[in-house]
């Protein structure tokens, strides 16, 4: 088995070594093009469209598919943190409509708790998306991520602030 494996590696290496693939991409398209292509496109978009006339590559990253950095950790927790310092990075693809839309539709896990809405002290101690504490140590700061006005109680008064 070991020998077969070695032979396979040898054959595949020989096949690979037989090719020297020419790139048709400009020399600017190296590993740092990620950081630079935005300004280059602003300076001369027509040059970009000579090859990318269907705009597939633009749509790919800026409109269609989240990057690998948007892990489930990012989606559930850390995007809020990062948006506080990487705003200009967020703005590459997102505007405020995206933030607002998701925070209106994606219910945090904490909100699935029984009697979350109704009972006294059943919802004010929970953080956004994942529970990370009790009501005594996480005050309403987490609520305002989505609920940006003080809610009205069933009794008619405004919700108190802890």
| Residues 41-80 as x/- pattern, contact with other proteins by CB under 8 A | xxxxx--x---xxxxxx-xxx-xxxxxxx-xxxxxxxx-x
| Residues 7-26 as x/- pattern, contact with other proteins by CB under 8 A | x-xx--xxxxx-xxxxx-xx
Q: Which residues contact 67 (CB under 8 A, 6 or more apart)?
A: 61
Q: Write the burial class of residue 142 (CB in 10 Å: 0-12 exposed, 13-18 middle, 19+ buried).
A: buried
* CB-nearer residue toward other proteins: 16 or 155: 16
CA distances from 26 to 9, 37, 105, 130, 135 (A): 33, 12, 43, 46, 57
- Closest contact distance (angstroms) between CB of 120 and other proteins is 18
Per CB under 8 A, does 153 bind other proteins?
no
- Closest contact distance (angstroms) between CB of 74 and other proteins is 8
DSSP assignment, residue 152?
Answer: B
Per CB under 8 A, does 147 bind other proteins?
no
């Amino acid at each position: 088995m070991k020998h077969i494996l070695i032979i396979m590696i040898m054959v595949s290496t020989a096949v690979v070594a037989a090719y020297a693939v020419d790139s048709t991409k400009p020399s600017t398209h190296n590993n740092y093009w990620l950081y630079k292509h935005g300004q280059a496109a602003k300076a001369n978009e027509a040059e970009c469209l000579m090859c990318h006339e269907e705009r597939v590559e633009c749509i790919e990253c800026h409109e269609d598919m989240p990057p690998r950095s948007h892990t489930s950790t990012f989606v559930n927790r850390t995007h809020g943190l990062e948006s506080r310092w990487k705003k200009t990075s967020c703005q590459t693809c997102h505007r405020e409509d995206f933030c607002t839309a998701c925070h209106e539709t994606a219910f945090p896990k904490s909100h699935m708790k029984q009697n979350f809405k109704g009972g006294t002290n059943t919802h004010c101690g929970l953080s956004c998306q994942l529970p990370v504490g009790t009501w005594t140590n996480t005050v309403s700061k987490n609520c305002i991520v989505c609920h940006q006005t003080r809610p009205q109680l069933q009794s008619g008064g405004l919700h108190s602030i802890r």
